[in-house]
Chains A and B, each alone.
Chain A
Amino acid sequence: MKAIGLALASCALAVLLAVSVGSGGFGVPDDGWLREQRGLRALAALLTGMGLSLGGVWAQALFRNELVEPFLLGLSGGAAAGAVLSLWLFPGSSPAVGAALGALGAALAVRGLAWQSDASLLLTGVAVGSMTGSLAGLVLTLSAQAQLLRPATHWLWGGFVDPDPQLLAAAAASVLLGLLATWFARDHLDRLLLGDDLARALGTPVGALRSFGFLLISLLTAVCVLCGGIVGFIGLLAPHLARRLVSGSHATMPIVAGLLGGGLLVCSDALARSVFAPREVPTGLLTSLCGAPLFLLALRRRPV
């Protein structure tokens, strides 16, 4: 409980920081629209961080591997391809829907192509991700329209500019579903860590859990991509940090992971629009810069 309280407090602090920091320096702006935008961005970042963290929790449990994150399952390549194709075919439109569909499509392809073993699923995910990512790169390189590059480039690195309240509602619903699903499946996820055989022997419906888990990861990732583009590393980092703060059991760890991931992304977004002012850099670039030192610190404290 202490850890959840601590994570919640960190998250609240991050949101407060995000609302108070901007390109003009430190301070809550007078302009109502700016205040609202900062709040919406913080909310978007929080929900996306929570969603990706929960996706990471499930991915690491399903594969019993601390190095797995949702985007490793081919979803980031699919999202990139979807976004770029959408920009190419419908210039001027937001790449978000195309990206989400691309992520889901990649997930379906991976699921359909390989389910014999964890290793084959991961490898297929890597292959599909590489292929779709290359497709995105190819379209960008060969496209005669240089302006296609600009929205794609910034978007592919992740960011929360101009958040859509309806999308945020969808994200909130997905995160809530994710949290509830994780809570109800917490013992099954723990048992899965003992291996499929022992999990079955302890009464866990392994096949159904895996199918549901994969679907949940795909849904959470697609919604997060809709909200914030491709923000890597959070799904890998947040469960790690949480595991080292509390324990590996899925009773409290997922909530802590969600709060840590959300808080980290909120901070990254605030920094993205203020540190290099008047420039705004993609949030995803800063996530790794901010998150990696924390990760290394956690690794030192408790090696894998």
Chain B
Amino acid sequence: MSALLACRELAVGHATHTVLSGVSFELACGQVLALAGRNGSGKTTLLRALAGLTAPRAGTIEWLGKQRLPDGLQRARSIGLVLQHEPAPWLRVREVLRLGGAQAERVAEVLEAHRLTALADRRVNELSGGERQRVALARADAARPALYLLDEPTNHLDMIERREFAAWLERVRSQAGVVLISHSRSVLRLAERVLWTAGGRLSDQPPDPELML
């Protein structure tokens, strides 16, 4: 069976230069892979490439054996993306959860699972940072994607909400794969494997031994 996500000698970067190269890994269903490293070292750039938002400068990415993500709503069911800085739309929470094609029943289920029922009819741009982060996770969750790509998913979350995130991750990994970026040790510890950015490449070893988990 094809891996959920497979990268071979991937190089990603911006218009004028490469930030990461030689990236090769596979992710199967049930696995959580974390990306860690200094700010500006290419983690988000890599995640965007894994989400199909940018083309790699070299190498290949395959999603379930295919070199192209599906179009339309199938894409939402393929990847659930949470970005580090998301605009706060003037939509209601309930409406945001529908955007991946989830029906009313699934929306209610996700609202309940993420403790957002009380906020269902509030506008996202009126919520606090932590509430918006939970909405972002819930939105990614609502379409039941096979692969979650999460950039700093615990930003703005308090201690209790971080514990809830950990519980959610545990539930989700049984039916999906997760690639996440984090600076938090506690979140990195939730992953089976942590890849560290250093010198334009990825490594299983942290650049500084003190960073060992």
Q: Is the interface of A mostly helix, strand, loop or mixed?
A: loop
Bound form: Cα–Cα A36–B65 in Å = 67
Is B74 an interface residue when CB atoms closer than 8 A count as contact? yes
Cross-chain contact B99 with A201 (CB below 8 angstroms): no
Residues A200 and B53 in contact in the complex (CB < 8 Å), given A194-B96, A194-B99, A249-B92: yes
Which residues of the partner chain B approach A243 to less than 8 Å between Cβ atoms? 90
Chain B 56-100 interface mask (CB, 8 Å, partner A; 1/0): 000000000000001111111001010100110111100110011
B85: shortest Cβ distance to chain A, in Å?
9
Report the nearest B residue to A205, measured CB to CB.
B71
The answer to whether A201 and B89 touch across the interface, beta carbons within 8 angstroms, is no
* B99 lies within 8 A of A190 (CB): yes
Chain B residue with minimal CB distance to A195?
B87
Given the interface pairs A202-B99, A203-B72, A248-B123, the reply to whether A197 lies near B81 with Cβ below 8 Å is: yes
Establish whether residues A248 and B91, one from each chain, have CB atoms under 8 Å apart when the complex forms: yes
Q: How far, in whole Å, are A203 and B96 apart by their CA atoms in the complex?
A: 14
Known: A202-B75, A203-B76, A248-B123. Contact between A191 and B99, CB under 8 A? yes
Instruction: Check if B87 sits within 8 Å of A64, measured CB to CB.
Output: yes
Interface size of A as a range:
10 to 19
Say which size band chain B's interface belongs to: 20 to 34
Question: How far is A247 from B87 in the complex, measured between Cα atoms in Å?
Answer: 17
B52 contacts A by Cβ under 8 Å = yes
Q: Which residues of A contact B71 (CB under 8 A)?
A: 203, 205
Contacts of A195 in B (CB 8 A): 83, 86-87
- Docked Cα-Cα span, A190 to B96, in Å, equals 8
Give chain B residues whose Cβ lies under 8 Å from the Cβ of A205.
Answer: 71
Question: Given the complex, which residues of B lie within 8 Å of A198, measured CB to CB?
Answer: 81, 83, 86
Quote the shortest CB–CB distance from A196 to chain B (angstroms). 9
* Chain A residues whose C-beta falls within 8 Å of the C-beta of B76 in the assembled complex: 201-203
Give the interface of B toward A (CB within 8 A): 48, 51-53, 70-76, 79, 81, 83, 86-87, 89-92, 95-96, 99-100, 123, 139, 143
**Cross-chain pairs A/B with CB under 8 angstroms, 23 sampled:** A64-B87, A64-B89, A190-B89, A193-B90, A193-B91, A194-B87, A194-B99, A197-B51, A197-B81, A198-B83, A200-B53, A202-B73, A202-B75, A202-B100, A202-B143, A203-B70, A203-B73, A203-B76, A243-B90, A248-B90, A248-B91, A248-B123, A249-B92
The 7 closest A-B pairs by CB, nearest first: A193-B89, A248-B90, A203-B75, A201-B81, A203-B72, A249-B95, A202-B76
Q: For the A-B complex with A193-B89, A202-B100 known, give 7 more contacts whose Cβ atoms are closer than 8 Å.
A: A190-B89, A193-B90, A194-B139, A195-B83, A198-B83, A198-B86, A201-B81
Binding site for B on A (CB under 8 A): 64, 66, 187, 190-191, 193-195, 197-198, 200-203, 205, 243, 247-249
